[in-house]
Amino acid sequence: MSKGNKTVTITDNDSGKQVELPVLEGTDGPGTIDIRALYKELGYFTFDPGFVSTASCESKITFIDGDEGRLAYRGYPIEQLAEKSSYEETCYLLLYGELPNADQLEKYKNIIKDRKMVDEKMRRFFLGFQHDAHPMAMMVAAVGALAAFYHEQIDVHDPVSRELAAHRLIAKMPTIASWCFKFSAGLPFNYPNVELDYTADFLHMMFSLPGRLYQASPTMVRAMDLILILHADHEQNASTSTVRLAGSSEASPFAALSAGIGSLWGPAHGGANEAVIKMLTEIVESGNDLSHYVDRAKDKNDRFRLMGFGHRVYKNYDPRAKIIRQVCHDLLKELGDDNPNRPLLETAMELEKIALEDEYFIQRKLYPNVDFYSGIIFQAIGIPVSMFTVIFALARTVGWLSHWMEMMSDPDGRIGRPRQLYTGYAERDYVDINKR
C-alpha cells in the first residue's frame, strides 16, 4: 500500500468542519480513502450495508477486476493457472506467495500427505448424525470438532504453529469431505492413499468401495482439479470475510474455518451451485418455456432468482464461468450424447443466451458466475447435488487459510468490530409489569 500525496476533503456543511483524508493506492484496482480519522475529526461513522464500497483490509493474495472480469492469484491470471497449474501448486502459491520449484512442491505434497488422516474418534462423531443430515451441516460440525483435537497445540501468534494448522486443515478436508458423502450414502469410510496425488486421492476416498478400488480417469481428475483451482480463493467474499472476522478475535483457525463453511453454505454464496442444478432440473422436468423462468426472475414480487447469475463484484462475465463452461462441453463430449446431464447443459446454454439478450439482465450487468456451470461438471463426475458446496468448501480452504495467515501475521492486526446506525428507541425508563 502506498500513501501518496492524494487526499480527499470531507466538509460537514452543518458545522463547517473539514477533514482531509489520505487516499491509499494499491498495485491494481481503485484506491481507498483512509477514513480511520473520520469519527475522531467529524464525529461520524460511514454507512455501507453489505460492504459494497468498503475495503475491509489490505491484502496481497487475490485481485479481482469486476468490470473487466479479471481474476489473479498472487498476480497470476486465473486463465494461466487453470491451463498450466495444479491445485496442489496453486495451494502453495496462495499460501506462500510464489510458485514453488520442483523440490518445494514435492516437499509440500509430502507434508500434506503425512497429515491426511483424522483421529479415529471422528468416525464416532459422524455416527451421531441423522442419516439424512446435509453434508454441509456435517462439514461445519466436523471442522469445528477438529478444534477439540488440536486446541492445546495452537498458538495463533506463532507462524510455525499457524502453518502447521493450515497444513492440517488442507490435508484433512478431502478425508472429512469424503466421509460426509460416505455417511450420507450409507457406505463405509475410506482412508487416504498417499500413493495418489491430492485430487485423485479425494476421488478415491469418495468412490472406492470395499474390494473395488476406484481409479478416476485422467479426464475426471483434471476436471476436478480444475474445479478446485477455480474455487481456491476469491478476495474478500462473504465466507472469507467471516473467517477473517472470526479469526481476528484470536480464535482457533479450526473454529474460524467452521464459521466460514457455515457462511459459504448459503444459496446466495457457495450454496448457489446446488441451487443451480435444482433450478435446471426443475426447468427440464417441468417442460415449461424458459421465458417463464426468466420472467419470474425479473418479477419483483417473486423471490425466484436465476441461480448462478449475478455477482457483487463481477459486472462482466465471471472468468471462472468461461473456463468451466468449456470443460462442461469437453467432459460431456467424452461421456457421450446420452449422458443424463446433457439436457441440463443444453438448458443452461439456452438460459444463458436468453438472459444475456434481455434488457433486465443487461441493465443490471448480470452474467453467469462460477456456480452456473460447476454443478453440471460435478454431476457428470458422479458427485451428488448435496455434496457440491462441500467441494467448494474443500477448494476454498486454502484461500480461507491464506487470508487468516495474512491477517494474523499483521503486527498492527486488531479485532474486527464494526459499528452501526442506531434507529431504535431513545433511552426510556423501565415499566413495572402491572402498569403495562
Instruction: Report the interface residues with ligand SDX, using CB under 6 A.
Output: 50, 234, 237, 268-270, 272, 297, 305-313, 364, 366, 369-371
CB of 44 or CB of 51, closer to ligand SDX: 51
Sign, CA torsion 241/246/251/253 = negative
Up-side HSE of residue 314: CA atoms within 13 Å toward CB? 22
Nearest distance from C-beta of residue 305 to ligand SDX, angstroms: 4
CB of 283 or CB of 370, closer to ligand SDX: 370
Active site residue 292: no
Question: Which one of the listed residues 134, 204, 311, 403 is annotated catalytic?
Answer: 311
Q: What is the residue type of 257?
A: L
**Residue recorded with cell 487526499:** 7
Nearest distance from C-beta of residue 126 to ligand SDX, angstroms: 27
Nearest distance from C-beta of residue 277 to ligand SDX, angstroms: 12
Nearest distance from C-beta of residue 43 to ligand SDX, angstroms: 30
Within its chain, how far is the Cα of 399 from the centroid?
Answer: 8
Distances (CA, A) of 407 to 19, 45, 151, 258: 29, 24, 20, 17
Cα 215 to Cα 352: distance, rounded to the nearest angstrom: 34
42 C-beta neighbours (distance < 10 Å), count: 18
Nearest distance from C-beta of residue 304 to ligand SDX, angstroms: 8
Nearest distance from C-beta of residue 141 to ligand SDX, angstroms: 22
CB of 269 or CB of 342, closer to ligand SDX: 269
Residue nearest ligand SDX by beta-carbon distance: 310
**Residues sharing a CB contact under 8 Å with residue 251, sequence separation 6 or more, in sequence order:** 156
Active site residue 311: yes
Within its chain, how far is the Cα of 19 from the centroid?
Answer: 38
What secondary structure does DSSP assign to 320-383, as a single string? HHHHHHHHHHHHHHHH-TT-TTHHHHHHHHHHHHHHHTSHHHHHTT--B-THHHHHHHHHHHT-
CB of 88 or CB of 318, closer to ligand SDX: 318
Task: Residue 415: name the closest of 180, 168, 156 by CA.
Answer: 156
CB of 34 or CB of 266, closer to ligand SDX: 266
Question: Which one of the listed residues 34, 65, 119, 269 is annotated catalytic?
Answer: 269
Task: Say if CB 233 and CB 399 are below 8 A apart.
Answer: yes
Cα 111 to Cα 96: distance, rounded to the nearest angstrom: 15
Active site residue 371: yes
What are the residue ranges of helices labelled H in 120-207?
Answer: 121-127, 135-150, 159-185, 198-207
CB of 220 or CB of 279, closer to ligand SDX: 279
CB of 242 or CB of 341, closer to ligand SDX: 242
Q: Which residues are 253's β-sheet partners? A: none
Nearest distance from C-beta of residue 69 to ligand SDX, angstroms: 12
Helices 272-286, 290-298: crossing angle, 10 deg rounding:
130
Known catalytic residues are 269, 311, 371
